[in-house]
Amino acid sequence: MLRRILIIQGHPDATERHFGHALAADYAEAAQDAGHEVHPIEIAALDFPLLRSARDWEHGGPPASLVEAQQRIRWADHVVFFFPLWLGDMPALLKAFLEQVARPGFAFRPTPTGGLGEKLLAGRSARVVVTMGMPGLVYRFYFRAHSVRALERNLLGHLGFSPVDETLIGQVAALDDAARIRWLATMRRLGRLGC
């Protein structure tokens, strides 16, 4: 089945390329070669303000620089997030992006009592690819991958994304060339499958 895939590159450093950029590029190339439609969003290249109040989030609209991002999210049937683990969580810029785009009326229709209500992004799947300095197994089993689980369940799941899969890549700085090649091959396989 051919898919419409949105790749969200959540690394906040626009000055140099990191392993997460290579992972995303290989995923995208393989997906396109397999016939999937692919569109990337590089969050570090976007200029948008931080949300500073619940009122703005509930009643304001996204900044003009993120309207296209919302359109691409609506267009996609599969969204892949790439980001490094920083201080045990996603980088602040990615969090700020998600706060801006996942607004009431776009991502969900709130209930009169303030609940999330209707999931307006239902029917989409997602994958979360996280690079980190610590061993992936330590993050998964000792820390219980708490921040990734929060993203998967508390945000993506509540907005209707299902299934949400994850790929955790630990000790990135210490990976030798063979390990990097294996991870890139994994991304190419996932890209071909569109998952």
| Domains of the chain as residue ranges with CATH | 4-193 (3.40.50.360)
- Mean pLDDT per 10-residue section of the chain, whose length is 195 residues: 97 94 98 98 96 90 95 98 94 96 91 78 97 86 82 90 96 96 98 97
Look at residue 114 in the predicted model and tell me its pLDDT: 64
**How high is the pLDDT of residue 173?**
93
CA distances from 109 to 113, 174, 184 (A): 12, 45, 38
Structure tokens at 90: 């996603």
Tokens (6 digits) for 121: 């992004």
CB-based contacts of 133, cutoff 8 Å, min separation 6: 85, 170, 171, 172, 173
Q: 64, 55, 66, 57: which is closest to 94 by C-alpha?
A: 66
